[in-house]
């Protein structure tokens, strides 16, 4: 069986490196890439000399030997690219967020149904995080009974001087909930094991960055399925003294136990990443998840070959973005009465 | 100066022991108590032999040498007792929740203004918890810049067979948000340094206790002041394997740092209680707060003597209950569309 051949179009977020690597680890072959920005292309070419840079993305889209396109284009441009990729008979893996408006989502959904191509979004805070994968296994095995709640806390470091201009333009990055919290929407649906959820309340604001008024530096929302409640907070307030980019946490409450993830750091505690704390009927355990296999890339490669949905269900993928987009809209609709300044 | 003399009326929740001890530690003298329940009275008399049991609470209310009444009566009966105490010219310290309806709150507020007596509620998760007191000091000192968010997670162990009948009667205990989350409302206002807040969304439900339909075993809500957002989750789902009654957490996000409290346990981690994790511009610190002074009792005794408001502002006390009661009402108003079953 020949290796899956794939290409990258759009390198505007560093997440492209995670997207490429996840497929390389799955045995796929990176054959080409396209970016209009010479500086971004140079760095990418240095990391992946096996990939040919093409001046016109049509060279990639019209190459029938390429099965998958990965893209970390500017967020607002991902939906139209995904549609173009599908219309050329290829599957697509986007950086999150996959789209920045509900209209974009509707159009991508429509074309996906029509073309039967795979639209996947690499939610790295789930699929590239060993403790989250492990938590999924534990929950599925019944370790904490029936899940009734999740709280996801997602502070991120701003690193303001390093960010490109589009990062501060609401229309292009999509708002903080769409952008960062789409990760959390996906995890909420995953742990709730549901495709139905509603947003109960949501806020966004700019609390401490008046020089970049287009940046929402804070967002949160309360949501639920018929059986599971959730809360999500995302922000750009990782303190300078934290030794990594964010103290990402996830709390999962079940009827018979709880799980806490300290995904990227155990603050002033144990070294390393991917700390999972399981408390159940029998006691409390710290589980080091650093050795857990991350199956997303392997599964997506198989899905592309077999036309299955093992890496992430197509409806699940779209529903997660729908939740994030709806929470973003609700937060902004109520922002006049809110803390936005 | 003679010691402050105080008495207890209503011993229906074990919190009465904390309430008495906090005043004894402040040098006050427990002189009498009243309870209609012989079993509760016997245990109390064994712990505090210095206190005379009186058959009629009027013996206490009409004793002009007694300045303060402490009460952990059934929650729904606390407001009327507080009013009676104030009408007898005494101050009162209630177990939380101080009242179970907005009407009770309005009446207590009215009589407090009229009589100028002190109505205090001993929020043990703040005033009797060294890490919370320490966090207050750090925030006031500017350790994390301007506070922009708090998340309070308050799981509690149900210990179902040990609970009295009224504990499962919505009208008498007031609902899970009123009951447990009034603690969290008080802390939210305290860390937000505000007396204005609104409830954005709230849910309550009975997820896993169909045999006691009056018990709400889960509640949560999203709230904000003009400047600070908050989220609170309370539940009766502490797993059997946890070595204490609940894994209480509080996260405080500021513009320049964060604080996390692991109040009662550091799950599968450091021994003891009252762990505070401060991350600021300079780095990350674990602060053991077990030696921090708890000033509430000392301050309340001084307030009773000096007619000041150092232990807890009167408006703050009432506003915290107002928030809890409003969140409870909102949660129940939307429960038809909710996870309640």
Would you write out chain A's pLDDT as a tens digit for each of its 341 residues?
A: 589 999 999 999 999 999 999 999 999 999 999 999 999 999 999 999 999 999 999 999 999 999 999 999 999 999 999 999 999 999 999 999 999 999 999 999 999 999 999 999 999 999 999 999 999 999 999 999 999 999 999 999 999 999 999 999 999 999 999 999 999 999 999 999 999 999 999 999 999 999 999 999 999 999 999 999 999 999 999 999 999 999 999 999 999 999 999 999 999 999 999 999 999 999 999 999 999 999 999 999 999 999 999 999 999 999 999 999 999 999 999 875 444 43
* Within-domain flag for B204: yes
Residue written as token pair 């269900």? A313
Q: How far is A149 from chain B (nearest CA, A)?
A: 9
* Within-domain flag for A320: no
Residue to test with chain B: of A197, A276, A279, A280, most B Cβ within 10 A: A279
CB contact under 8 A, A233 and B151: yes
What's the CATH number where A48 sits? 3.40.50.720
C-beta separation of B128 from B122 below 8 A: yes
CB contact under 8 A, B148 and A237: yes
CB contact under 8 A, A257 and B280: no
* Chain A residues within 8 A of B247 when measuring between CB atoms: 258, 279
Residues A211 and A237 occupy one common structural domain:
yes
CB contact under 8 A, A281 and B239: yes
* Within-domain flag for B65: yes
Q: Name which of A144, A227, A260 is nearest B267 (Cβ-Cβ).
A: A260
Q: What is the pTM of this model?
A: 0.96
Residues A160 and A236 occupy one common structural domain:
yes
pLDDT digits (tens, 9 = 90+) for B3-60: 999 999 999 999 999 999 999 999 999 999 999 999 999 999 999 999 999 999 999 9
Residue ending a domain, among B294, B309, B327, is B294
Q: How many CB atoms are located within 10 Å of the residue A148 CB?
A: 22
Q: Please give the pLDDT value at position B338.
A: 44
Residues A281 and A157 occupy one common structural domain:
yes
Residues B251 and B273 occupy one common structural domain:
yes
B32 - beta bridge partners?
B7, B52
B33 - beta bridge partners?
B8, B53
Q: Please give the pLDDT value at position B334.
A: 84
Q: Name which of B224, B231, B241 is nearest A282 (Cβ-Cβ).
A: B241
Bigger pLDDT: A341 or B335?
A: B335
CB contact under 8 A, A253 and B231: no
**% of chain B exceeding 70 in pLDDT:** 98
Residues A118 and A150 occupy one common structural domain:
no
In a 10 Å sphere around its CB, with 0-12 CB exposed, 13-18 middle and 19+ buried, how is residue B306 labelled?
Answer: exposed
The pairing of strands A119-122 and A91-95 is parallel
Nearest chain A residue to B236, by CA = A255
* Within-domain flag for B270: yes
Q: Is the pLDDT of residue B64 over 70?
A: yes
Residues A107 and A144 occupy one common structural domain:
no
Give ∠ CA B123-B335-A198 in degrees, rounded to 5. Answer: 100
Q: Please give the pLDDT value at position A340.
A: 41
CB of B244 within 8 Å of a chain A CB? The answer is no
Residues B102 and B149 occupy one common structural domain:
no
Residues B118 and B149 occupy one common structural domain:
no
CB contact under 8 A, B285 and A269: no
Q: Please give the pLDDT value at position B317.
A: 98
CB contact under 8 A, B221 and A222: yes
Across the range B184-196, mean pLDDT stands at 98
Nearest chain A residue to B336, by CA = A226
Which of A103, A127, A131 has the alpha carbon at shortest distance from A182?
A: A127
Give the 3-state secondary structure of A15-50.
HHHHHHHHHHHCCCEEEEEECCCHHHHHHHHHHCCC
Q: Name which of A205, A268, A280 is nearest B277 (Cβ-Cβ).
A: A268
Listed by number, the residues of chain A in 128-157 with a beta carbon closer than 8 Å to a beta carbon of chain B are 144-146, 148-149, 151, 153, 155
Q: Is the pLDDT of residue B336 over 70?
A: no
Please state, in angstroms and rounded to a whole number, the distance separating the CA atoms of residues A304 and B138: 54
Q: Name which of B146, B258, B269 is nearest A239 (Cβ-Cβ).
A: B258
Residue ending a domain, among B105, B122, B139, is B122
Give ∠ CA A236-A237-A238 in degrees, rounded to 5. Answer: 105
Nearest chain A residue to B147, by CA = A207
* Within-domain flag for A341: no
Residue written as token pair 């333009």? A169
pLDDT digits (tens, 9 = 90+) for B106-121: 999 999 999 999 999 9
Q: Name which of A144, A225, A237 is nearest B253 (Cβ-Cβ).
A: A237
Q: How many independent structural domains does chain A possess? A: 2
Residues A55 and A72 occupy one common structural domain:
yes
Residues A112 and A131 occupy one common structural domain:
no
Residue to test with chain A: of B145, B149, B340, most A Cβ within 10 A: B149
* Within-domain flag for B308: no
* Chain B residues within 8 A of A237 when measuring between CB atoms: 148, 253-255, 258
Residues B283 and B153 occupy one common structural domain:
yes
Residues B40 and B72 occupy one common structural domain:
yes
Which of A110, A106, A121, A60 has the alpha carbon at shortest distance from A85?
A: A60
Domain span at residue A261?
A: 126-294
Q: Please give the pLDDT value at position B339.
A: 42
C-beta separation of B234 from B155 below 8 A: yes
Can you list the alpha helix ranges (DSSP code H) found in A58-215?
58-61, 78-87, 102-115, 124-127, 130-140, 170-173, 176-179, 182-192
* Within-domain flag for A315: no
Residue ending a domain, among B77, B100, B122, is B122
Q: Is the pLDDT of residue B341 over 80?
A: no
* Within-domain flag for B150: yes
CB of B98 within 8 Å of a chain A CB? The answer is no
Listed by number, the residues of chain A in 270-289 with a beta carbon closer than 8 Å to a beta carbon of chain B are 277, 279-286
Q: Is the pLDDT of residue B169 over 80?
A: yes
Nearest chain A residue to B260, by CA = A267
Please give the DSSP secondary-structure letter assigned to residue B97: P
Please state, in angstroms and rounded to a whole number, the distance separating the CA atoms of residues A265 and A243: 8
Residues contacting A309, CB < 8 A, separation 6+: A118, A303
pLDDT digits (tens, 9 = 90+) for B111-151: 999 999 999 999 999 999 999 999 999 999 999 999 999 99
């Amino acid at each position: 069986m020949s290796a899956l051949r794939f290409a990258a179009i759009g390198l505007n977020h560093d997440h492209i490196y995670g997207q490429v690597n996840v497929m390389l680890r799955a045995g796929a072959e990176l054959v080409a890439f396209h970016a209009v920005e010479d500086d971004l292309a140079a760095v990418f070419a240095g990391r992946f000399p096996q990939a040919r840079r093409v001046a016109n993305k049509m060279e990639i889209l019209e190459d029938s030997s390429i099965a998958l396109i990965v893209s970390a284009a500017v967020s607002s441009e991902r939906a139209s690219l995904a549609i173009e990729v599908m219309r050329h008979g290829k599957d697509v893996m986007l950086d999150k967020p996959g789209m920045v408006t509900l209209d974009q989502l509707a159009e991508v959904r429509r074309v996906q149904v029509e073309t039967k191509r795979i639209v996947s979004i690499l939610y790295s805070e789930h699929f590239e995080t060993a403790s989250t994968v492990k938590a999924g296994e534990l929950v599925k095995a019944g370790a904490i009974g029936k899940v009734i709640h999740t709280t996801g806390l997602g502070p991120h470091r701003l690193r303001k001087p390093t960010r490109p201009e589009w990062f501060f333009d609401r229309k292009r990055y999509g708002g903080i909930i769409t952008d960062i919290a789409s990760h959390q929407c996906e995890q909420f649906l995953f742990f709730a094991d549901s495709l139905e959820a509603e947003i109960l309340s949501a806020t966004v604001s700019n609390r401490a960055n008046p020089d970049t008024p287009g940046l929402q530096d804070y967002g949160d929302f309360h949501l639920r399925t018929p059986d599971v409640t959730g809360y999500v907070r995302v922000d750009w307030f990782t303190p300078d003294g934290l030794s990594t980019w964010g103290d990402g946490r996830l709390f999962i409450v079940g009827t018979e136990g709880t799980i806490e993830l300290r995904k990227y750091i155990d603050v002033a505690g144990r070294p390393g990443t991917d700390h999972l704390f399981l408390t159940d009927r029998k006691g409390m355990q710290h589980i080091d998840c650093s050795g857990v296999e991350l199956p997303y890339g392997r599964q997506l490669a198989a899905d592309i070959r077999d036309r299955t949905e093992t890496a992430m269900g197509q409806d699940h993928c779209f529903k997660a973005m729908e939740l994030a987009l709806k929470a973003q809209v609700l937060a902004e609709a109520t922002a006049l009465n809110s803390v936005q300044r």
